[in-house]
Protein backbone atom coordinates (compact mmCIF):
# COMPACT_ATOMS: atom_id res chain seq x y z
CA UNK A 1 0.00 0.00 0.00
CA UNK A 2 1.31 3.42 -0.88
CA UNK A 3 2.27 5.82 1.88
CA UNK A 4 -0.45 8.30 2.61
CA UNK A 5 -0.33 11.76 4.03
CA UNK A 6 -2.34 12.34 7.16
CA UNK A 7 -2.91 16.02 7.71
CA UNK A 8 0.63 16.78 6.70
CA UNK A 9 2.29 13.86 8.41
CA UNK A 10 3.20 10.69 6.64
CA UNK A 11 1.96 7.50 8.14
CA UNK A 12 4.17 4.75 6.93
CA UNK A 13 3.02 1.20 6.50
CA UNK A 14 5.55 -0.11 8.95
CA UNK A 15 3.96 1.59 11.93
CA UNK A 16 2.70 -1.46 13.81
CA UNK A 17 -0.84 -2.24 12.85
CA UNK A 18 -3.42 -1.46 15.50
CA UNK A 19 -5.31 -4.32 17.02
CA UNK A 20 -7.19 -6.10 14.29
CA UNK A 21 -5.93 -3.74 11.64
CA UNK A 22 -6.26 -5.77 8.47
CA UNK A 23 -6.29 -4.32 4.99
CA UNK A 24 -9.94 -3.34 5.15
CA UNK A 25 -9.65 -1.90 8.62
CA UNK A 26 -6.41 -0.16 7.74
CA UNK A 27 -8.25 1.77 5.08
CA UNK A 28 -10.86 2.80 7.59
CA UNK A 29 -8.26 3.90 10.12
CA UNK A 30 -6.33 5.77 7.45
CA UNK A 31 -9.42 7.66 6.40
CA UNK A 32 -10.50 8.24 9.97
CA UNK A 33 -8.32 11.30 10.21
CA UNK A 34 -9.60 13.20 7.26
CA UNK A 35 -11.22 16.48 8.00
CA UNK A 36 -14.26 15.62 10.05
CA UNK A 37 -15.06 19.13 11.17
CA UNK A 38 -18.72 19.67 12.00
CA UNK A 39 -19.27 21.93 8.99
CA UNK A 40 -18.47 18.98 6.74
CA UNK A 41 -21.00 16.90 8.48
CA UNK A 42 -24.04 16.34 6.39
CA UNK A 43 -26.69 15.82 8.98
CA UNK A 44 -29.13 13.25 7.68
CA UNK A 45 -32.13 12.62 9.86
CA UNK A 46 -30.47 9.64 11.48
CA UNK A 47 -27.28 11.55 12.38
CA UNK A 48 -23.91 11.85 10.71
CA UNK A 49 -22.56 8.91 8.75
CA UNK A 50 -19.37 9.67 6.86
CA UNK A 51 -16.95 7.13 5.42
CA UNK A 52 -14.61 7.56 8.41
CA UNK A 53 -17.20 6.57 10.99
CA UNK A 54 -16.40 3.30 12.72
CA UNK A 55 -19.44 1.46 13.93
CA UNK A 56 -18.78 -0.47 17.12
CA UNK A 57 -20.50 -3.66 16.02
CA UNK A 58 -19.63 -7.18 17.18
CA UNK A 59 -16.72 -7.59 14.77
CA UNK A 60 -15.27 -4.27 15.94
CA UNK A 61 -15.48 -5.36 19.56
CA UNK A 62 -13.76 -8.66 18.88
CA UNK A 63 -10.81 -6.84 17.35
CA UNK A 64 -10.58 -3.58 19.27
CA UNK A 65 -11.21 -4.68 22.82
CA UNK A 66 -8.26 -7.06 23.26
CA UNK A 67 -5.86 -4.48 21.83
CA UNK A 68 -7.27 -1.72 23.99
CA UNK A 69 -7.09 -3.81 27.15
CA UNK A 70 -3.54 -4.85 26.36
CA UNK A 71 -2.40 -1.29 25.78
CA UNK A 72 -4.12 -0.16 28.95
CA UNK A 73 -2.44 -2.91 30.98
CA UNK A 74 0.91 -2.39 29.24
CA UNK A 75 1.03 1.30 30.13
CA UNK A 76 2.93 1.65 33.35
CA UNK A 77 4.92 4.58 34.64
CA UNK A 78 8.47 3.69 33.71
CA UNK A 79 11.32 5.47 35.49
CA UNK A 80 14.37 4.06 33.71
CA UNK A 81 14.61 3.55 29.97
CA UNK A 82 17.17 1.75 27.80
CA UNK A 83 19.01 3.38 24.89
CA UNK A 84 16.35 2.59 22.26
CA UNK A 85 15.19 5.45 20.15
CA UNK A 86 11.60 5.99 19.10
CA UNK A 87 11.33 6.37 15.33
CA UNK A 88 10.18 9.85 14.37
CA UNK A 89 7.19 8.57 12.44
CA UNK A 90 5.96 6.71 15.50
CA UNK A 91 6.34 9.77 17.73
CA UNK A 92 4.39 11.80 15.21
CA UNK A 93 1.70 9.16 14.99
CA UNK A 94 1.38 9.08 18.79
CA UNK A 95 1.22 12.86 19.02
CA UNK A 96 -1.42 12.91 16.32
CA UNK A 97 -3.37 10.27 18.24
CA UNK A 98 -3.24 12.51 21.30
CA UNK A 99 -5.05 15.22 19.40
CA UNK A 100 -7.98 12.85 18.92
CA UNK A 101 -8.74 13.26 22.62
CA UNK A 102 -12.09 14.91 23.25
CA UNK A 103 -12.13 18.51 24.42
CA UNK A 104 -14.71 20.89 25.76
CA UNK A 105 -16.54 22.50 22.83
CA UNK A 106 -13.72 21.03 20.75
CA UNK A 107 -11.61 24.07 21.64
CA UNK A 108 -8.48 21.98 22.29
CA UNK A 109 -6.85 24.44 24.69
CA UNK A 110 -3.54 22.63 24.99
CA UNK A 111 -0.26 22.22 23.17
CA UNK A 112 2.14 19.30 23.03
CA UNK A 113 5.78 20.38 22.86
CA UNK A 114 8.02 17.57 21.69
CA UNK A 115 11.42 18.91 22.76
CA UNK A 116 14.12 17.50 20.51
CA UNK A 117 16.71 20.25 20.42
CA UNK A 118 19.61 18.82 22.51
CA UNK A 119 20.38 21.88 24.63
CA UNK A 120 16.70 22.52 25.44
CA UNK A 121 16.19 18.82 26.11
CA UNK A 122 19.02 18.80 28.59
CA UNK A 123 17.61 21.89 30.35
CA UNK A 124 14.23 20.21 30.40
CA UNK A 125 15.70 17.10 32.02
CA UNK A 126 17.13 19.32 34.73
CA UNK A 127 13.77 21.08 35.10
CA UNK A 128 12.19 17.66 35.62
CA UNK A 129 14.36 17.70 38.73
CA UNK A 130 16.81 15.27 37.18
CA UNK A 131 14.37 12.37 37.60
CA UNK A 132 15.72 9.28 35.83
CA UNK A 133 12.34 9.08 34.10
CA UNK A 134 13.49 12.26 32.33
CA UNK A 135 17.24 11.82 32.12
CA UNK A 136 17.11 8.32 30.62
CA UNK A 137 14.15 8.99 28.31
CA UNK A 138 14.43 8.91 24.54
CA UNK A 139 11.84 11.66 24.19
CA UNK A 140 10.22 14.35 26.31
CA UNK A 141 6.91 16.04 25.65
CA UNK A 142 5.62 19.04 27.55
CA UNK A 143 1.85 19.13 27.86
CA UNK A 144 0.84 22.77 28.12
CA UNK A 145 -2.61 23.94 29.21
CA UNK A 146 -3.51 27.01 27.15
CA UNK A 147 -6.52 28.74 28.67
CA UNK A 148 -5.23 31.88 26.98
CA UNK A 149 -5.84 30.35 23.54
CA UNK A 150 -9.57 29.83 23.75
CA UNK A 151 -10.38 32.82 21.53
CA UNK A 152 -7.67 32.03 18.99
CA UNK A 153 -8.70 28.40 18.86
CA UNK A 154 -12.36 29.29 18.51
CA UNK A 155 -11.48 31.48 15.54
CA UNK A 156 -9.38 28.72 13.97
CA UNK A 157 -12.04 26.12 14.61
CA UNK A 158 -14.74 28.25 13.04
CA UNK A 159 -12.48 28.85 10.08
CA UNK A 160 -12.08 25.09 9.59
CA UNK A 161 -15.76 24.43 10.13
CA UNK A 162 -16.76 27.06 7.59
CA UNK A 163 -14.01 26.10 5.12
CA UNK A 164 -12.33 29.45 5.52
CA UNK A 165 -15.55 31.43 5.67
CA UNK A 166 -17.07 29.89 2.53
CA UNK A 167 -19.97 28.48 4.47
CA UNK A 168 -21.84 29.58 7.55
CA UNK A 169 -22.43 27.89 10.82
CA UNK A 170 -26.16 27.59 10.93
CA UNK A 171 -28.81 26.60 13.42
CA UNK A 172 -27.87 25.39 16.85
CA UNK A 173 -24.18 24.97 15.93
CA UNK A 174 -24.00 28.57 14.69
CA UNK A 175 -25.74 29.88 17.78
CA UNK A 176 -23.45 27.88 20.02
CA UNK A 177 -20.13 28.86 18.45
CA UNK A 178 -21.05 32.43 17.49
CA UNK A 179 -23.02 33.53 20.52
CA UNK A 180 -23.16 31.22 23.49
CA UNK A 181 -19.57 30.00 23.65
CA UNK A 182 -17.93 33.46 23.54
CA UNK A 183 -20.25 34.51 26.37
CA UNK A 184 -19.47 31.44 28.47
CA UNK A 185 -15.73 31.65 27.89
CA UNK A 186 -15.16 35.38 28.27
CA UNK A 187 -13.12 36.26 31.31
CA UNK A 188 -12.24 39.82 32.19
CA UNK A 189 -8.86 40.46 33.81
CA UNK A 190 -10.26 42.57 36.67
CA UNK A 191 -12.97 40.07 37.52
CA UNK A 192 -15.82 42.62 37.56
CA UNK A 193 -17.67 41.06 34.66
CA UNK A 194 -16.95 37.63 36.12
CA UNK A 195 -18.69 38.61 39.38
CA UNK A 196 -21.69 39.89 37.43
CA UNK A 197 -21.81 36.64 35.50
CA UNK A 198 -21.59 34.66 38.72
CA UNK A 199 -24.59 36.54 40.10
CA UNK A 200 -26.44 36.10 36.80
CA UNK A 201 -25.69 32.40 36.52
CA UNK A 202 -26.54 31.75 40.17
CA UNK A 203 -29.84 33.56 39.83
CA UNK A 204 -30.72 31.74 36.63
CA UNK A 205 -29.63 28.49 38.18
CA UNK A 206 -32.27 28.81 40.89
CA UNK A 207 -35.03 27.96 38.46
CA UNK A 208 -33.33 25.77 35.84
CA UNK A 209 -30.17 23.77 35.21
CA UNK A 210 -27.48 25.98 33.70
CA UNK A 211 -23.76 25.78 33.05
CA UNK A 212 -21.84 27.15 36.08
CA UNK A 213 -18.28 27.36 34.84
CA UNK A 214 -15.84 28.54 33.67
CA UNK A 215 -16.35 31.93 35.30
CA UNK A 216 -13.36 32.69 37.47
CA UNK A 217 -9.71 32.62 36.54
CA UNK A 218 -9.27 29.36 38.40
CA UNK A 219 -12.25 27.86 36.54
CA UNK A 220 -10.41 28.64 33.31
CA UNK A 221 -7.25 27.02 34.61
CA UNK A 222 -9.10 23.86 35.59
CA UNK A 223 -10.88 23.88 32.23
CA UNK A 224 -7.65 24.00 30.25
CA UNK A 225 -5.85 21.44 32.43
CA UNK A 226 -8.77 19.05 32.02
CA UNK A 227 -8.42 19.05 28.25
CA UNK A 228 -4.62 18.88 28.43
CA UNK A 229 -4.77 15.84 30.72
CA UNK A 230 -7.09 14.00 28.33
CA UNK A 231 -4.61 14.58 25.51
CA UNK A 232 -1.77 13.46 27.80
CA UNK A 233 -3.45 10.17 28.64
CA UNK A 234 -4.30 9.55 24.99
CA UNK A 235 -0.65 10.12 24.12
CA UNK A 236 0.53 7.62 26.74
CA UNK A 237 -1.98 5.01 25.60
CA UNK A 238 -0.91 5.49 22.01
CA UNK A 239 2.75 5.09 22.99
CA UNK A 240 1.81 1.87 24.77
CA UNK A 241 -0.11 0.61 21.73
CA UNK A 242 2.97 1.33 19.62
CA UNK A 243 5.09 -0.73 22.02
CA UNK A 244 6.74 2.16 23.89
CA UNK A 245 6.74 3.19 27.51
CA UNK A 246 6.08 6.50 29.19
CA UNK A 247 5.97 8.33 32.48
CA UNK A 248 3.86 11.39 33.31
CA UNK A 249 5.76 13.83 35.48
CA UNK A 250 4.29 16.51 37.71
CA UNK A 251 7.41 16.75 39.82
CA UNK A 252 8.78 19.53 37.66
CA UNK A 253 9.95 23.13 37.81
CA UNK A 254 7.19 24.82 35.86
CA UNK A 255 8.83 28.23 35.84
CA UNK A 256 11.99 26.87 34.21
CA UNK A 257 10.03 24.76 31.73
CA UNK A 258 7.97 27.74 30.63
CA UNK A 259 11.19 29.64 30.04
CA UNK A 260 12.71 26.82 27.98
CA UNK A 261 9.87 26.87 25.46
CA UNK A 262 8.88 30.50 25.91
CA UNK A 263 5.34 30.01 27.16
CA UNK A 264 3.37 33.15 28.04
CA UNK A 265 2.30 33.90 31.61
CA UNK A 266 -1.22 32.48 31.36
CA UNK A 267 -0.09 29.20 29.84
CA UNK A 268 0.64 26.43 32.32
CA UNK A 269 2.46 23.14 32.21
CA UNK A 270 0.09 20.27 32.97
CA UNK A 271 2.83 17.69 33.02
CA UNK A 272 5.86 16.45 31.14
CA UNK A 273 5.68 13.02 29.57
CA UNK A 274 8.81 11.00 29.03
CA UNK A 275 8.90 8.17 26.54
CA UNK A 276 11.20 5.36 25.51
CA UNK A 277 11.63 1.65 25.96
CA UNK A 278 11.80 0.34 29.49
CA UNK A 279 14.70 -1.25 31.26
CA UNK A 280 13.33 -4.05 33.45
CA UNK A 281 14.49 -2.16 36.56
CA UNK A 282 12.56 0.90 35.32
CA UNK A 283 9.30 -0.64 36.51
CA UNK A 284 9.44 0.03 40.22
CA UNK A 285 6.49 -1.93 41.58
CA UNK A 286 3.42 -3.98 40.85
CA UNK A 287 0.35 -2.00 39.89
CA UNK A 288 -1.53 -0.76 42.95
CA UNK A 289 -4.97 0.77 42.88
CA UNK A 290 -7.57 1.65 45.50
CA UNK A 291 -10.49 -0.71 45.83
CA UNK A 292 -13.09 -0.44 43.07
CA UNK A 293 -15.68 0.64 45.65
CA UNK A 294 -13.55 3.63 46.56
CA UNK A 295 -13.40 4.84 42.99
CA UNK A 296 -16.50 3.58 41.27
CA UNK A 297 -19.82 4.67 42.68
CA UNK A 298 -22.95 3.23 41.16
CA UNK A 299 -26.06 5.23 41.83
CA UNK A 300 -28.97 2.82 41.38
C1 LIG B 1 -0.09 14.13 36.74
C2 LIG B 1 0.88 13.06 37.15
C3 LIG B 1 2.09 13.40 37.68
C4 LIG B 1 3.03 12.42 37.98
N5 LIG B 1 4.27 12.79 38.37
C6 LIG B 1 5.23 11.86 38.52
C7 LIG B 1 6.57 12.25 38.73
O8 LIG B 1 6.89 13.42 38.80
N9 LIG B 1 7.51 11.27 38.83
C10 LIG B 1 7.20 9.95 38.73
O11 LIG B 1 8.10 9.12 38.82
N12 LIG B 1 5.92 9.55 38.51
C13 LIG B 1 4.94 10.47 38.38
N14 LIG B 1 3.65 10.08 38.11
C15 LIG B 1 3.35 8.67 37.93
C16 LIG B 1 2.50 8.09 39.05
O17 LIG B 1 3.29 7.93 40.21
C18 LIG B 1 1.91 6.78 38.56
O19 LIG B 1 1.03 7.04 37.51
C20 LIG B 1 1.17 6.02 39.66
O21 LIG B 1 2.02 5.61 40.66
C22 LIG B 1 0.45 4.78 39.10
O23 LIG B 1 1.34 3.89 38.45
P24 LIG B 1 1.15 3.47 36.93
O25 LIG B 1 1.19 4.74 36.11
O26 LIG B 1 2.31 2.57 36.62
O27 LIG B 1 -0.15 2.78 36.78
C28 LIG B 1 2.70 11.04 37.84
C29 LIG B 1 1.43 10.71 37.37
C30 LIG B 1 0.54 11.69 37.01
C31 LIG B 1 -0.78 11.30 36.43
Residue 86 has a pLDDT of 98
At residue 187 the predicted structure's pLDDT band, cuts being 50, 70 and 90, is confident
Centre of ligand 1 from the C-alpha of residue 273, in Å: 10
Is residue 277 scored above 60 in pLDDT? yes
Residue 191 has a pLDDT of 83
Q: Is the CB of 135 under 6 A from ligand 1?
A: no
The region, left, alpha or beta by phi > 0 then psi within -120 to 50, assigned to residue 276 is left
Q: Is the CB of 247 under 6 A from ligand 1?
A: yes
Is residue 15 scored above 60 in pLDDT? no
Contact 170, 161 (CB under 8 A): no
Centre of ligand 1 from the C-alpha of residue 281, in Å: 16
State the helix-helix crossing angle for 58-74 and 217-241, rounded to 10 degrees.
100
Is residue 37 scored above 70 in pLDDT? no
Share of the chain above pLDDT 90, in %: 75
At residue 35 the predicted structure's pLDDT band, cuts being 50, 70 and 90, is very low
Is residue 114 scored above 50 in pLDDT? yes
Centre of ligand 1 from the C-alpha of residue 248, in Å: 5
H-assigned helices in 128-216: 132-135, 150-161, 171-175, 181-185, 192-207
Residue 43 has a pLDDT of 54
Whole-number mean pLDDT of the chain?
87
Beta carbons within 8 Å of 142's beta carbon, 6+ residues apart: 112, 113, 115, 124, 257, 261, 269, 272
Q: Is the CB of 282 under 6 A from ligand 1?
A: no
Amino acid sequence: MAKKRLLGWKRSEDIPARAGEGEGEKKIIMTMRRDTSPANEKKPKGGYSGPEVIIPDDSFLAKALPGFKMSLEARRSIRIYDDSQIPERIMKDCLKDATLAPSSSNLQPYELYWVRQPEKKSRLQAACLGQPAATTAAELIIVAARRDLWKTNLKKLKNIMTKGGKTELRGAVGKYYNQLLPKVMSNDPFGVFNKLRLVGFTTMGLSKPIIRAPISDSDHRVWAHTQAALAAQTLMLSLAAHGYDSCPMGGIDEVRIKKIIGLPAQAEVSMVISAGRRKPEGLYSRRVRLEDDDLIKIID
